A and B are shown apart, each in its own frame.
Chain A
Amino acid sequence: MPLLQIDSLTVDYPTRNGTVRAVNDVSIALEKGQTLGIVGESGCGKSTLGLAVIRLIPPPGVLTEGSIRIDGTDVVHLPENQVRELRGKVGFIFQDPMTSLNPVKRIGDHFIEFMRAHDKKISREEALERSGKILESLGILRERINDYPHQFSGGMRQRVMIGLGLALSPKLLIADEPTTSLDVIVEAQILELMNKLKKEYNLTLILITHNIGIVAEMSDLVAVMYAGRVVELGPTDRIFENPLHPYTKGLLESAPNIVHPERSMHPIPGSPPDLISPPTGCKFHPRCPHAFEPCPLSEPALATKERQLVACHLYD
């Protein structure tokens, strides 16, 4: 049984000007120990998807349809107190480490509070001891546990966030753009760290990012999202060797290629669609170089083609 099973998930945001369908009929299965990379432009719904798994869709967003099962348990209909329990078993790392920590709480207190919220029997000293060990494994000096967030650099704060995410040995870890706010060198360090921890904790990891390079490096499975839908899904090496969806091809071509640096980068023309009044049919068709008659008429379904799943009329 897959650790995470998402079926036909749909999340809507009612706004003054209309309803935004941030996540549109998404289905993904993730086995234990696998790493899933969700990649797409800003606003494609990947963050909302990640937050939906821990039932933290920011208001006024609502989960209109679909189910999310973690280890068989349906998350969507859990009562409030069990949702909190769930959040102890699924770690979440936020994008901006500068603002994700409580400025008036010491780092140690973040850990202690977290641990004690999920296990009332644990004592302060024990929690402190365990937190110290975690911080050390992340490359942070144990004494710094008494410092405040503003005394840490961005990279170190993200390590703290990762530490918090892993503190209760979760089954699943979701990282939403974990390195986007960091500079390149620190980013590399963090990614290396995450790789190490992945093996150490035998983590099932969801990595949400707009950076296709990170996905290539870290994940087993890739899901490409556009305008709230998964347009391509499959094993990483397959997707990179043989991208089927025009958008995936576009993403790969717009990224710098270290193997073939002489190849020029082609940005995808146009801009992401307005989700209040999106294009008809396939939402990518206005920007697609291969668009033809059926594209504006109907939304292509996700179907299997050459060991990947792709939603495109080219492959119907």
Chain B
Amino acid sequence: MSLRSYIIARVLLTIPMLLLLLTMVFLITRVLPGDPVLLHFEKQAKPEAVEEFRQRLGLDKSLPEQYVDYLTGLLRGDLGRSMQDFSPVGQQIFSAFPATLELAIFGMIIAVVLGIFLGVRSSKSYNTGEDHVIRTFGITSYAIPVFFLGMVLQLVFSIGLHWFPSGGRIYPGGEPLGLNFGGFHLQTGLYTFDSLLEGNLGKFVQSLRYIFLPSLALGLALCGIFIRLTRSNMLETLRLDFVTAARARGLKERTVVYTYALRNAFLPILTMMGLQFAALLAGAILTETTFSWPGLGRYLVDRIAFRDYTAIQGAVVFFGLLVALVSLIVDILYAYLDPRIRL
């Protein structure tokens, strides 16, 4: 099977799952609580006001109608309107998203780099003290709630040592402006990237300082599974015939470990990265709250406090779609990298 037909097949497979996902969210947020509008107004409100409120949000229609509206709206990119001020949820989400994306990227990089490095070390010093220490570290990092880890990091490095800021994304007025060349404007919303585009080294360094602790917390919490995966894959792969055969040809040990063993062991790591993306987002929600990071996670948490159920629904849908998209990309990437899987 060529790569193209694999991609098509995979995309087609995603559609029923997406539909199921969207229906699930709908059931949870519209059907489960009974009446989200009444939930929103905790105290008694005038029936007319409630009714008008309902109409403005389209929540007065019958459930099947609402369901259709919901799905068609999504096709247009409409994620509903906030109960707080009726502004489009989609817009709020898109403006908060880059912050979460940046945090997720840095967090994943730390998790994977740390995980692979420690995993390889662990596999090479198999069954020695170093191996056990690394494995214990991996298991423990899994058991630590990421927000607790974040708070500990804040306490030590921020409040204690003043090396890093304890919250926020950048100092006031320090938002990078991106690339401005003639009439051409490019801004990704990722502060680290944008500050480089702007050519402002100061902002770049500052944006790194602000993102360091939160992504470290996220990365440490997630690296455990990468350590274990790398270690077990390496242990298996290092024992395989083609690794011994490579050594028999006199290739350098470093070449053998990295281009023979690791490259073959890497593919499951790549899949794991995709699988862990969901966990990454979950961790991001908690980390953003801890560090007052203005991303999607904090948006969701704020909406909960405001009992803004339509916005909560929009955000949850967005998270689900995001995860589905990422796993699709990872699957395709995997097929590209491992020629065996396409056949």
Contact = CB atoms under 8 A, between A and B. Distances in A.
B143 interface: no
A86 B247 CA distance: 11
B263 interface: yes
Contacts of B255: 113, 117
B86 interface: no
Contact of B250 (A84, A99, A100, A102): A84
A114 B252 CA distance: 10
A102 B244 contact: no
Contact of B241 (A87, A88, A100, A113): A100
A101 B246 CA distance: 8
A102 B242 contact: yes
A249 to B, nearest CB: 34
B241 A117 contact: no
A99 B249 CA distance: 15
B244 A58 contact: yes
Given A104-B338, A150-B339, A99 B242 contact: yes
A267 B252 CA distance: 45
Contacts of B339: 104, 148, 150
Size bin of chain B's contact surface: 20 to 34
A39 to B, nearest CB: 22
Interface string B188-213: 00000000000000000000000000
Nearest to A94: B245
A163 to B, nearest CB: 12
Contacts of B187: none
A102 B241 contact: no
Nearest to B244: A56
Interface of A: 54, 56, 58, 83-88, 92, 94, 96, 99-105, 113-114, 117-118, 148, 150, 161, 164
B253 to A, nearest CB: 8
A87 B250 contact: yes
Interface in B232-275: 240-242, 244-252, 255, 259-260, 263-264
Contacts of B252: 84, 117
A84 B249 CA distance: 8
Contacts of A113: 251, 255
B340 interface: yes
Nearest to B242: A102
19 contacts: A54-B248, A84-B251, A84-B252, A87-B248, A92-B248, A99-B242, A100-B241, A102-B246, A103-B264, A103-B340, A104-B263, A114-B251, A117-B250, A117-B251, A118-B250, A148-B340, A150-B339, A161-B245, A164-B249
B245 A101 contact: yes
A118 B241 CA distance: 21
Most chain A Cβ neighbours within 10 Å, of B242, B246, B248? B248
B337 interface: yes
A102 B264 contact: yes
Interface of B: 240-242, 244-252, 255, 259-260, 263-264, 337-340, 343
Given A88-B250, A103-B340, A164-B249, 16 more contacts: A56-B247, A83-B250, A84-B251, A87-B249, A92-B248, A94-B241, A99-B242, A100-B241, A102-B264, A103-B242, A117-B249, A117-B250, A117-B252, A148-B340, A150-B340, A161-B245
Contact of B245 (A84, A100, A118, A148): A100
B240 A99 contact: yes
Contacts of A102: 242, 246, 260, 263-264
A166 to B, nearest CB: 12
A54 B249 CA distance: 9
Contacts of A58: 244
Closest 4 CB pairs of A and B: A87-B250, A99-B241, A84-B250, A92-B248
A87 B255 CA distance: 15
B249 A88 contact: yes
Contacts of A88: 249-250
B249 A94 contact: no
Contacts of A94: 241, 244-245, 248
A117 B241 CA distance: 19
B77 to A, nearest CB: 39
Contacts of B264: 102-104
